[in-house]
A and B are shown apart, each in its own frame.
Chain A
Amino acid sequence: MTSPLRQPSEQPIALHERAMDDLRFIRGTMERAGSFTAVPGWGGVGMGVTALIAAPIAWQQPTPGRWLAVWLITALVAGIIAGGTMALKARRARVSLVTGPGRKFFLSFLPPLGVAVALTAALYAHGAVALLPGLWLLSYGAAVMTAGTFSVRAVPQMGIGFMVLGAAALATPAAWGDAWMAAGFGVLEIGFGLVIARRHGG
């Protein structure tokens, strides 16, 4: 072998550059070949659990404002879980969240979520909170499905599942809203989280 550490004294700089070049080459090749694999399976399970806890609490709230607050706090907690577990998984897999497939994933994921935020504010202002569970499930499903184009196959499949549940939520009585939220953000998220965790490294 050509152990770099055994080379003459002027060699380390060249070898150091070669090592840097190799690392860039490996990273670039992985990014070109890869799908975004840092979607956190166990994070999905954690997010699902928060939704299952939140659904009965939200259902008991006497006013739309408090109901909305419960789900917004849940979304915040779920977002922290998702972000933390994704960062950990990405670091373990040595993939970047801000370049290559990771960047494409987020650029596809964020616009539908932005739409959901704007429509949530508008619908709440017009007193149409009954439509929010369907809107959230559809928007999150669209975000997951489009971003899933750059990820493993289970991710876009989960997005389709969310969109189906969102459509169902809009077509059924408003009182079922929290049940649809539990089904989507709870059960579906946990189910796909387990699949991703088992098949795609956590």
Chain B
Amino acid sequence: MPRTQGRKKSRRESPVELDRVIHERVRLAIVSALAGADALSFNELKDLLGITDGNLSVHARRLEEAGFVTCEKSFVDRVPRTQYSLTAAGRAALDDYLNHMESLIRRVREG
């Protein structure tokens, strides 16, 4: 996937690309949830966000490909467990997004 690999190398080069990944509501929710917790399992994320397995899988994979989240698979008492956490790049992306939103609000308020 050349487009994704390009993102990993130069995430901050294009705010356009950044918005496309994180601006989508479910992906924004995943990144926000992981920013508020050290790590969350697949089921915890699913329950928290109230979305389907398929929906979460697709969007989590997109964020993983972008280098914003990491996914660790393990077994706990022989039960498979998928755990997600936010990467430094993901946290920076959320920070960028927040800054962007805040500056937009500020501009409108300042007229």
Q: How far, in Å, is B101 (CB) from chain A's closest CB?
A: 4
Q: Is the interface of B mostly helix, strand, loop or mixed?
A: helix
For A126, list chain B residues within 8 Å (CB): none
Interface residues on B, range: 20 to 34
Q: Is the interface of A mostly helix, strand, loop or mixed?
A: helix
For B108, list chain A residues within 8 Å (CB): 12-13, 15-16
Contact of B29 among A25, A94, A95, A152 (CB under 8 A): A25
Contact of A26 among B20, B28, B107 (CB under 8 A): B28
- Find the B residue at minimum CB distance from A2: B19
Most A C-beta atoms less than 10 A away, residue of B16, B36, B102, B104: B36
Contact A34 B37 (CB under 8 A): yes
Contact B32 A16 (CB under 8 A): no
Per the 8 Å Cβ criterion, residues 159-202 of A in contact with B are 200
Residues in chain B within 8 A of chain A (CB atoms):
15-17, 19-20, 25, 28-29, 32-38, 40, 48-49, 94, 97-98, 101-102, 104-105, 107-109
What are 21 A-to-B residue pairs whose CB atoms are below 8 Å? Answer: A1-B15, A1-B16, A4-B104, A5-B107, A13-B108, A16-B105, A16-B109, A22-B101, A23-B98, A23-B101, A23-B102, A26-B32, A26-B97, A29-B29, A30-B32, A32-B33, A32-B36, A34-B33, A34-B35, A35-B37, A94-B98
- Give me 10 other A-B pairs in contact (C-beta within 8 A), A23-B101, A25-B32, A34-B36 excluded: A4-B104, A25-B25, A26-B97, A26-B98, A29-B49, A33-B40, A34-B33, A34-B37, A95-B36, A200-B38
